Structure 1
Amino acid sequence: MKKYILFDLDGTLTEPKEGITKSVQYALDSIGIHEPDLNNLIKFIGPPLEVSFKEYYGLNDADTKEAVKRYRERYKDVGIFENSIYDGVTDMLDALKKQGAGLALATSKPDIFAERIVDEYGMRPYLDVVAGGKINGSCVKADVIREAFEKLGIGEDDKKKVIMVGDREHDIIGANECGIESVGVYFGYAAPGELEAAGATYIVSSMGELKQLLLELSSEAQGEEGQR
């Protein structure tokens, strides 16, 4: 059923809380907003930074631009490595790869950061494609998914063979906009009911459940290919 699997990064494959929240705190402090409680900044994990700074702190365009600049100032050398890969991710990617699935990263995080994280945490051998947001361009999830399509050579007729995996509504909404199915994972940073409301095709609560589901879906796809 599914030949290609696209993965979000933060909250789906990796635990990014420390690096992201501390970098957001640093950015806010640089423009005169003091947020001592890092737990109040967890909501920044997932959505594009520009959207979050405007939505959660009411920043205007100029202050948003400065906040994003300051965030990346800290994140690029420090926050990026205040991170860890979730238990079971490598085993899952390895099993899917051995089964013949095409695997891609599709993250709103700028691709220059995503590439470094993929290398740092040993995911590079399993991924056929890394698609990410652009420092001075779009970080919208649907645009990132379309970039992954292009890199994988996925055409309109192939969309039924593709599934997006993510932990926030933006992943699910992006998948819906691109006409593909999705898996919402509740071991990341989604609020209760968020993924259902966004229209996720499947819902899982653990890495073990995700691995089992994806192996089943990709196994069906390989069976269909073999019958042709």
Structure 2
Amino acid sequence: MRPCFLFDLDGTVADNGEGILKSAQYALDAFGFPNQPEEKLRLFVGPPLDQSFRELYGMSQEEALRAIAKYRERYSVTGVLENHLYPGISELLRDLAQIGQVCLATSKPQVFAEKILETRGVRQYFSLVVGAELSGERTDKGEVIEAALQGLGDPPGDWAVMIGDRKFDVEAGRALGLVTVGVDYGYAPPGEMDRCRPAYRAATVEELAALLKAWAAGKGETER
């Protein structure tokens, strides 16, 4: 059996903050919330957009859906290109693809996730990409991970690891019985990773690479 590596996208594989923050502000301008502080806009990175608009700005579900449509006016044209891979991630994905199955599990619409991976030249390392639908279906992180696991052939939980920068990644992965890794270089607010307590933590991509390769090597030892 080959180990399975499930990666979040925003704040884990790629720094998409610029595109997300600018597109969120673009939408908020239309709803009377100009010039929002960056620390508040950063909270849009990770959770489903409707959740962010509702919880951060008190919008109804109907208003949140209209805000999402406004957000996508900008994001689909400009925001989706405002990103870069974290240094060392491309090499890590390449190495992991040689020893296991690498999957993307993101609450971002799959069409945008695919475009980012293709644009940044790393799509070939992923055996599977699972994201939300533009219709609003499958935005919950647990649903995304479940769909990814099904696509990977339902591996045992101790053979699959969920890697992400927010509590949504850690909590959903743990609830489904996966090993969890929290990365500290992404967009989690201060203290969030301390509270959600992933099985492992990595402060840098270099630490993440060492951790995942050691974990995978350990799985190989158990088969001998």
- In which range does the TM-score fall when normalised by the shorter chain? over 0.9
Q: How does 1:68-217 map to 2 (within 5 A)?
A: 68-98=68-98, 100-136=99-135, 137-155=137-155, 158-217=156-215
Shift of 1:190: 1.2
Q: Secondary structure at the match of 2:121?
A: coil
Shift of 1:196: 2.8
Unaligned runs of 5+ in 1: none
Is the 8 Å Cα contact of residues 27 and 68 (structure 2) preserved in structure 1? yes
Q: Secondary structure at the match of 2:105?
A: strand
- Deviating above 6 A after TM superposition, structure 1's stretches of 4 or more consecutive aligned residues are none
TM-score norm. by structure 1 comes to: 0.93
TM-score norm. by structure 2 comes to: 0.95
Distance 1:116 1:223 in 2: 37
Is the 8 Å Cα contact of residues 20 and 45 (structure 1) preserved in structure 2? yes
Distance 2:4 2:220 in 1: 11
Shift of 1:36: 4.7
Counterpart in the other structure of 2:4: 4
Distance 2:179 2:222 in 1: 18
Residue by residue over 1:60-98, the C-alpha shift from the partner in whole angstroms, topping out at 9 and shown as x without a partner, is: 122111101111111011000011111000111112122
Unaligned runs of 5+ in 2: none
Counterpart of 1:143, as a letter, is: E
Distance 2:9 2:75 in 1: 16
Shift of 1:125: 1.3
Moved more, 13-22 or 36-45: 36-45
Counterpart of 2:165, as a letter, is: D
Residue by residue over 1:203-228, the C-alpha shift from the partner in whole angstroms, topping out at 9 and shown as x without a partner, is: 11111000000000111223333x2x
Q: Percent identity?
A: 38
RCO comparison, higher one (Cα < 8 Å, 6+): 1
Q: Secondary structure at the match of 1:187?
A: coil
Counterpart in the other structure of 1:26: 26
Distance 1:102 1:187 in 2: 23
Moved more, 41-50 or 215-224: 215-224
Distance 1:9 1:101 in 2: 18
Q: How does 1:44-83 map to 2 (within 5 A)?
A: 44-83=44-83
Counterpart in the other structure of 1:17: 17
